[in-house]
A and B are shown apart, each in its own frame.
Chain A
Amino acid sequence: MTAATARPRLQLLGITKRYPSVVANQDISLTVRPGEIHAVLGENGAGKSTLMKIIYGVTQPDAGEMLWEGRQVEIDSPATARRLGIGMVFQHFSLFETLTVTENVSLALDSPPPPAELAARIARISAQYGLPVDPHRLVHSMSVGERQRVEIVRCLLQQPRLLIMDEPTSVLTPQAVRTLFQTLRRLADEGCSILYISHKLDEIRDLCHTATVLRGGRVSGSALPQQESPESLARLMIGRELPVTKLPPRTPGAPLLEVSGLSLASTDPFGTTLKDISLSVRAGEIVGIAGVSGNGQKELLAALSGEQPLAAADTIRLCGTPAGRLGPAARRKLGLGFVPEERLGRGAVPELSLGLNTLLTGSGHGLVRHGLIDRAKVRDFARRVIERFQVKCGGERTPAGNLSGGNLQKFIVGRETLLAPKVMLVSQPTWGVDVGAAALIRDSLIELRNQGVAVLVISEELEELFMISDRLAVLAEGRLSPTVPTAATSVEQIGLWMSGAFGSEPVVPARAEVVHG
């Protein structure tokens, strides 16, 4: 860190932002110095995103002042922010898949130079910061990590003096995270300030110089992360001890979900073809499937949930019944519960109330009578979900779209859980979810397992899978590794398998036909 005494790059004083139903930011002050990597830590709904949107000019505060290099500023749009020297890399990328890197970057610039010159500048920047990006490649052929590099390069082209990174590592492999951190440290050494939003305590301790912790829209404390323990940071963040997840030993019962020889060509030209996947999940166990997204996770889930029915009924058996050709509703009747990865728009309809959202999957459970919605039952059911899973919301009439990611995920997991499934399918259970909600969700999955439900979890977070899985497998390039007891494997082995190197099957031909990661 350079010049702790220098004039602050950015200073927020008493920033307050009210929304109709909630105060997102209350009297927030923080200071970022040149060359400082400053963590903004907090649970979902703590106000991190709102604060970043204010800094980047996406939304305006109701009260408070912003000082940029000592001068008071009004940032009324992202364009203004960029002119000042503020860049932001969003959690969800905004790239056009069918365009090249250069074309994508060009679209984002206020006055783009000619393509050839821009391509040269992209190449120069990417070489300079160790962010290998080919300016002429089409975005759809790139892995998630590569796409993130494009976003970062796009920001760096504008020579920012403050870079905002919103949960940048949620999509990266451990390898890619290390590379990213090297780049960020390098930028900081050159004097660029970085605001790093995350809920991953280890990363913050590893990377950040200072941290401002938000809780309930207010600053609950600030810290020097390197001098804190994960426990003490968590306490600042959630106001209590870090919850501990325990997986008591349990002998599994009969297999409830059986997949044998599942091969499926992807309907999406940029998708992954599934190759001969076999798998069985028994009553009372959690099987975790690791792997980086884009390796067939989406396709496997669609095949298991019934959104992509199969040609042969026998390929998938649910509780002993051949289910390969059944659609989602029929599989649900056989006892399947499913928590999809996309919460808004798939797991829940943003515009509809939480009450009505229970009907998406709960219609078979007495919520509908004679074709009419039983509103009292729907209300009761939604209230039970909200209460049991501590969903923070204004009640069952709140539109699902108003909930924060973690709360909505609690609601969806709660809904599927209270529908009493025999087989539970969960994709990225805690993706972008804060520590408190993540612990609650994991505990509820373990609770299901203890009650004898067969649980299949697909996740990118290795740490999480090791925490809650009885057995583990890896999905890489559309193929599934052998399933091994969690106790008998290691992060290293799973990490190796994630690159596609496993088992007796020939690896080389499969790798050759898959272009993207």
Chain B
Amino acid sequence: MVRLEPRPEPSRRMMFASPLIAAALMVVTGYVMFALMGREPWQAFHVFFVQPLSSDYGIGEWLLKATPLMLCGVGLALGFRAKVWNIGAEGQLTVGAIVGGGVALYFHDVDAGWLLPLILLAGMLGGMAWAAIPAFLRTRFHTSEILVSLMLVYVAQLLLRYLVNGPWKDPAGFNFPQSVMFHDAALLPLLVDGLRVNIAFVIALALLAAAWVFAYRSFAGFRMQVSGLAPAAASYAGFGEKRNVWLALLISGATAGLAGVGEVAGPLGQLQPSASPGYGFAAIIVAFVGRLHPVGVLLASLLMSLLYLGGEAAQLELGLPSSVTGLFQGVLLFYLLAADLFIYFRFKPRASGAPQPSEAT
């Protein structure tokens, strides 16, 4: 029988190996799953993981879909480091899309350089405002930010659906639930002609760098980290618990809001009943697979983005349901959490005689 024992100290090696192990196990599971469904597994893998990246257009899509994951993921990672569990990035993303899109609609006939920055700013503020609700309730009434932020996702989604079905519906849109298309001045410039990836990707990269500075070099980031690691030490040092909650939620709300406005002012070009295929939830996986580190978030975003693309390709080429994407994402998180156990524990060999060499981690 296999037994576990706690490691004397958390294994750093395992901390980095865990996402790789999880990804490998995800592939194995995929192999079994494809085989059981009667598909040739290697061909399915090819469709899923290689084909999407075998054209310039594909690579553009890859980066495009990675962008909102990077944005949401990095904000969540900063909050999770401080042990503030914002599960509602999807809602903050949606409100970011609503507020940013609202500004774009309001200034629909304006063609000026200040419009796009204003739209992006509005999106961020929208996300922050939505995240401020769980922050306020947590600091004022000790409610769980996990539940409040999660429930607010559905409120935000219903709000968006109401708007595109009602007041903001394009009058000339044949009754489709969507707004008018935004003016060019309200759209994010493309990075390369012919590809859909836009300047939001560059903004996301810059924010990852900024997040690294914030988390590892700034005193404010240090305060948040201490609040997460040792609340009593934070209290001893005078780092306010409330400030920590507010900062964590506002930062993740802002990046999620930016991701949302990046969608409507980017590939969508208008408000539609849904602003995202679940980037805000997928970003939770991104943050953890990325080990709450900006570089990890970048890599995890690229992987998750590929899962989205692969899912679409599998749908088209293999006739597989689109839920394959969600399945892969879920399986990845599942294996990650399982593998993370071995950061703190290790297998205990059966007592058989020879003394153990000490764990050199």
Contacts of A340 in B (CB 8 A): 236
A345/B219 in contact, CB under 8 A: no
Q: Which residue in A17, A327, A350, A375 is a CB contact (below 8 Å) of B230?
A: A350
Binary contact track B285-314/A, C-beta < 8 Å → 1, others 0: 000000000000000000000000000000
Contacts of A348 in B (CB 8 A): 233
Query: Does A69 lie at the interface of the complex (its beta carbon under 8 Å from any beta carbon of B)?
Result: no
Q: A17 with B220: in contact, given A349-B233, A352-B229, A360-B226 (CB under 8 Å)?
A: no
Query: Does B33 lie at the interface of the complex (its beta carbon under 8 Å from any beta carbon of A)?
Result: no
Contacts of B220 in A (CB 8 A): 371
Q: A328 with B235: in contact, given A19-B358, A20-B360, A60-B356 (CB under 8 Å)?
A: yes
Assembly CA distance A330 to B229 (angstroms)? 23
A18/B358 in contact, CB under 8 A: yes
Contacts of A350 in B (CB 8 A): 229-230
Assembly CA distance A352 to B224 (angstroms)? 13
Assembly CA distance A328 to B226 (angstroms)? 15
Q: Which of A361-382 contact B (CB under 8 A)?
A: 361, 363, 368, 371-373, 375
Query: Does B237 lie at the interface of the complex (its beta carbon under 8 Å from any beta carbon of A)?
Result: yes
Assembly CA distance A338 to B237 (angstroms)? 10
B353/A74 in contact, CB under 8 A: yes
Q: Which residue in A330, A349, A375 is a CB contact (below 8 Å) of B226?
A: A349
Q: Which of B195-228 contact A (CB under 8 A)?
A: 213, 217-220, 222, 225-226
Residue of A nearest to B240 (CB): A327
Q: A307 with B358: in contact, given A349-B230, A372-B219 (CB under 8 Å)?
A: no
Contacts of B351 in A (CB 8 A): 74, 76, 80
B358/A327 in contact, CB under 8 A: no
Q: Which residue in A74, A80, A328 is a CB contact (below 8 Å) of B237?
A: A328
Contacts of B233 in A (CB 8 A): 345-349, 360
A82 to B: closest C-beta gap in Å: 15
Assembly CA distance A332 to B239 (angstroms)? 12
Contacts of B237 in A (CB 8 A): 328-329, 360-361
B217/A328 in contact, CB under 8 A: no
Q: Which of A60-85 contact B (CB under 8 A)?
A: 60-64, 74, 76, 80
Q: Which of A309-349 contact B (CB under 8 A)?
A: 327-332, 338, 340, 342, 345-349
Contacts of B232 in A (CB 8 A): 342, 345-346
Query: Does A359 lie at the interface of the complex (its beta carbon under 8 Å from any beta carbon of B)?
Result: yes
B218/A306 in contact, CB under 8 A: no
Query: Does A356 lie at the interface of the complex (its beta carbon under 8 Å from any beta carbon of B)?
Result: yes
Query: Does A486 lie at the interface of the complex (its beta carbon under 8 Å from any beta carbon of B)?
Result: no
Query: Does B357 lie at the interface of the complex (its beta carbon under 8 Å from any beta carbon of A)?
Result: yes
Contacts of A373 in B (CB 8 A): 217-219, 222
B355/A62 in contact, CB under 8 A: yes
Assembly CA distance A327 to B240 (angstroms)? 9
Query: Does B54 lie at the interface of the complex (its beta carbon under 8 Å from any beta carbon of A)?
Result: no
Contacts of B359 in A (CB 8 A): 20
Query: Does B278 lie at the interface of the complex (its beta carbon under 8 Å from any beta carbon of A)?
Result: no
Contacts of A61 in B (CB 8 A): 355
A61 to B: closest C-beta gap in Å: 6
Assembly CA distance A350 to B232 (angstroms)? 12
Query: Does B173 lie at the interface of the complex (its beta carbon under 8 Å from any beta carbon of A)?
Result: no
User: Which 4 A-B residue pairs are closest in the complex by CB-CB distance?
Assistant: A329-B238, A328-B238, A76-B351, A360-B237
Q: Residues on B close to A: CB < 8 A?
A: 8-9, 213, 217-220, 222, 225-226, 229-230, 232-233, 235-240, 348, 351, 353, 355-361
Can you list 19 residue pairs at the A/B interface with Cβ under 8 Å? A20-B359, A61-B355, A62-B356, A307-B236, A327-B240, A328-B238, A345-B232, A346-B230, A346-B236, A349-B233, A351-B229, A352-B225, A352-B226, A352-B229, A360-B233, A361-B237, A368-B219, A371-B218, A372-B218
